[in-house]
Chain A
Amino acid sequence: MPRDQRGTGPEAPAFGRSVPRREGRAKLEGRGEYVDDLVLPDMWFGATIRSRVARGKIEEIVFAKDVPWDEYVIVTARDIPGKNSVLLLLEDQPYLADGVVNHPEEAVLLVAHPDRHALERARRGIEIRTSPLPPLFDLEDSLAKKLVIWGEDNVFKAIDIVKGDVDSAFRDPSLVVVEGVYHTGAQEQLYIEPNGVIAAYDAKEGVTVWGSLQCPYYVHKALKPLFGLSPDKIRVIQMETGGGFGGKEEYPSMIAGHAALLAYKANKPVKLIYDRAEDMVATTKRHPSRTRHRTAVTKAGKLVAMDIDFALDGGAYATLSAVVLSRGAIHAGGAYECPNVRIKARAVATNHPPHGAFRGFGAPQSIFAVERQLDLVAKTLGMSPEALRRANFLQRGGHTATIQEVKEDPELDRLMQRAFELSGYAQKRPALTAQNAAAKTGRIRKGIGFASFMHGAGFTGSGEKLLGSEAAVEATPDGRVRVLAASTEIGQGTNTVFAQIVADALGLPYDAVEVAQPDTKFVPDSGPTVASRTVMVVGKLVENAAKGLKGTLREAGLLEDVYDHAAFRTACGAYLAKHAALKSVAKYQQPTGIVWDDKKYLGDAYATFAWAVYVAEVSIDLDTYATTVDDFWAIQEAGRIVHPILAAGQIEGGVAQGVGFALYEGVVWKEGRMANASMTNYIVPTAVDAPRIHVEFVEKDAPYGPGRGAKGIGELPMDGAAPAIAAAMEHALGIAVTRVPCLPEDLFALLEGGRS
């Protein structure tokens, strides 16, 4: 039915309308069921006994004599029925350390007891005696192979992207060459619900796990070899999940394995919930990075060559580092046209706990570097940062660093113009400069800065083709429609947008569609809930599945051209009177014209990009060295917006995490271990720290995604805040902020360090 014929009531098209969040009422009344809320009969509780040292040989495990060990179930690597490795990309990370430990807090033993309060006694009663091996904590030391701790050379993944001829360009004496080095720190996802899983084992049913997780089929894949069981003997159910941000992408496979091993040995369901300290100290964080830039530019400000060396600290095991590096490397050249680009990217091992997925997945690191570098280039040339950007923005027909032809029109000029209009950037920039100059003896300095950038939606390169995701839609005899997908609701609104998309595809009211709880027994593998792919990729699949279901009813002669909900209901009833099921499955088909060369790392890295310009306004207190973000504008193009309030919520939340990444969230490392693993000492933005965030979507049709085209937006906002804030700080103080987080003590060192 055409969009406009259903009016604005409950029958109106749902796409583009801020319908109520599907599970919102339950969450607001405290009825959402999270894993820790679930109690199974005769359930035991588990705990993980971890390494205290960064690297060493396990010599002996000593059990205190005064603990009644017969009450406990204890699991070591020797109890593992299948393979002791967490299957993801490589198989280097054990579920339980066997003989050696490679990072602090590595899991060595598991214990379970019927009384949760008895676990602490066991924890204190087990001593893991190790003989130390020399540890490696520094990224540069790892690159230089000062010590080899992983493989032959510490390198988890090496990527080299070459466009044009960088070396020739640098030999051109007419060009200006600018060099800079940039660093970003580890960042904790800090979802407010810590990680947790419940597992049960049954000889007939196999392993069942209920968990707080993003990717049910990652856990499913990881548990099969651990137990040597067939796929039908592993069942993974996602409970309501209290935030993920990447932090519940891969690590839940580890916890699920632990809980399942305990359940298997105890023959009881086992609940394994991390407390905050354990979650912070043991689970993954954003990869710390170092990026070197060497840029050759004409005196008029045209980029000629970019030579970029991008390195990530992957921690002790490979986990997802290869793909984090990939996204970071592909985004390292930014949203700019440059004929000659060389990106050398390396993810290397250290004896930190493995770093992992966190919103943005490598891009916030490399985009921080390229945006800061462009500001430095502008300053060197005596140009304004905006004039330099305008001279180099990617345009339709241009080519990214991977020589991907830009087929859409990014219109970054237009986004910048809009961002400047809303923020008053052009007036404020000189006004604040004058105000700062006049305030010589005052405490407060103010600045305004921006970043322009893009973020690729979906898996990189051939990733989506290899995933081959599926989603399904089914209907009941009374015309109720259910979406079956493994994409998880983790706060971002999956349930709501899937219901909207399917309602529109079937011409039904939003309330007529429900979304099934992700349970691998019932939902197909839609791939992981990551990479800004849920709306664009899986949303398109559920739309296709819904269209397929409608096609089935039409082909059966049960549905007219134009129909209402009652007629749909009748059609479903009639169909199901003759057939066992009314279900339609859609499988991902790579759109034509997407070509990626994984060997050369060139071609269409992403089906499409979202584009953005963000502006930050800051105040800096010269007595406390505290930086406050006073105001923030986030302007982006991400195709058509399915749900304006949810979409704005994604941007606002990502920006706030970016504010934390820039100004507050410093992980303190001590012998490879997070020393400030508590919410008292690791500071994220509170209600009084977060700026007012003004969000605007410049909407247009897009070639991919459901409806008239919708691009991924989950990660985009994480990329822009830190470089915009750093640029504003530089404007306020005239110093280069090349490293985030920039805490008050860091700013103090930057400003006063030279003087002492």
Chain B
Amino acid sequence: MSSIDLVVNGEKRRVEARPMERLLDVLREELRLTGTKEGCGEGECGACSVLLDGRLVNSCLIPVLQAEGADVRTIEGVEKTPTGKALQDAFLACGGAQCGICTPGMVLAAVYLLDKNPRPTGEEIRDGLAGNICRCTGYTKIFDSVAAAAKALHDEGSTR
């Protein structure tokens, strides 16, 4: 077991973990942040997506040692950011969430996309979400949600 320090959703945390333990398990089991989901454990589905130092990663592929000193943002911390809040509102309004299991990862992928590219085209939205599998929606309403959030953020920005 090793002591590992990291910042999770803006809070300093210290965890005792095996160095090769998956960041996903540390978040879910040690820190009880169960909003991050496991869908496949092989980096294909994106349900476990989190932001690690601002980069979108599959937390099932990250040994916790690699997160030493890093800034981790999970779904539990998304509401506090304007992009995250706008996306959550838009997903609720547009029907972007059904069963909800891919949703946290999908929202984080969308946060990452809109923070980099605030006015994405339809193609850019598709590309930005290509690492996150949703089996319920057929994606149409997810695309609508991301486009609506981008528009809301833009409109809000332009009225300030």
Contacts and interface: CB of A to CB of B under 8 A. Distances in A.
B47 interface: yes
A192 B41 contact: no
A688 B133 contact: no
Nearest to A25: B92
A241 B136 contact: no
B126 interface: yes
A652 B143 CA distance: 12
Nearest to A191: B135
B83 interface: no
A454 to B, nearest CB: 21
A679 B44 CA distance: 6
Interface in B71-130: 74-76, 78-79, 88, 91-95, 97-104, 107, 125-127, 129-130
Contact of B130 (A33, A653, A679, A688): A688
Given A193-B37, A680-B44, A24 B140 contact: no
B141 interface: yes
Interface in A225-282: 240-245, 275-276
B84 to A, nearest CB: 10
B99 A242 contact: yes
Nearest to A659: B138
Contact of B137 (A33, A653, A686): A653
A23 B101 CA distance: 12
Contacts of B33: 30
Interface string A635-657: 00000000001101100111111
Interface residues of A, number: 56
A243 B100 CA distance: 8
A450 B99 CA distance: 29
Contacts of B127: 687-688
Contact of B135 (A30, A32, A653): A653
Contact of B79 (A29, A240, A678): A29
Contact of B138 (A25, A191, A652): A652
B137 to A, nearest CB: 5
Interface string B14-53: 0000000000000010000111111111101101000000
B134 interface: yes
B57 interface: no
A653 B38 CA distance: 21
Contact of A31 (B35, B129, B138): B35
Nearest to B95: A645
Contacts of B41: 275-276
Contact of A36 (B38, B40, B125): B38
B59 interface: no
Given A192-B102, A242-B100, A679-B133, A28 B44 contact: no
Nearest to A686: B130
Q: Which of B47, B104, B135, B138: most chain A Cβ within 10 A?
A: B138
The binding surface of chain A is classed by DSSP as loop
A82 interface: no
B123 to A, nearest CB: 9
B40 A276 contact: yes
Contacts of A690: 138-140
A242 B142 CA distance: 16
A241 B28 CA distance: 18
B35 A20 contact: no
B90 to A, nearest CB: 10
Contact of A656 (B34, B91, B92, B138): B138
A486 to B, nearest CB: 18
Q: Which of B37, B98, B133, B137: most chain A Cβ within 10 A?
A: B98
B139 A243 contact: no
A653 B47 contact: no
B39 A653 contact: no
A242 B40 CA distance: 13
A412 to B, nearest CB: 24
A684 B47 CA distance: 15
Nearest to A656: B138
A374 interface: no
A34 interface: yes
Contact of B134 (A24, A31, A192, A240): A192
A193 B130 CA distance: 19
A649 B95 contact: yes
Contacts of B101: 34, 191-193, 242-243
6 contacts: A20-B93, A30-B34, A193-B37, A193-B39, A491-B98, A657-B135
Interface of B: 28, 33-42, 44-45, 47, 74-76, 78-79, 88, 91-95, 97-104, 107, 125-127, 129-130, 132-143
Given A18-B95, A27-B100, 16 more contacts: A26-B100, A30-B75, A30-B103, A33-B34, A192-B37, A193-B39, A243-B135, A244-B99, A646-B95, A653-B138, A654-B138, A657-B138, A684-B133, A686-B130, A687-B143, A688-B130
- Closest CB pairs A-B (n = 10): A30-B35, A491-B99, A242-B101, A27-B100, A656-B138, A30-B75, A652-B138, A491-B98, A679-B44, A37-B34
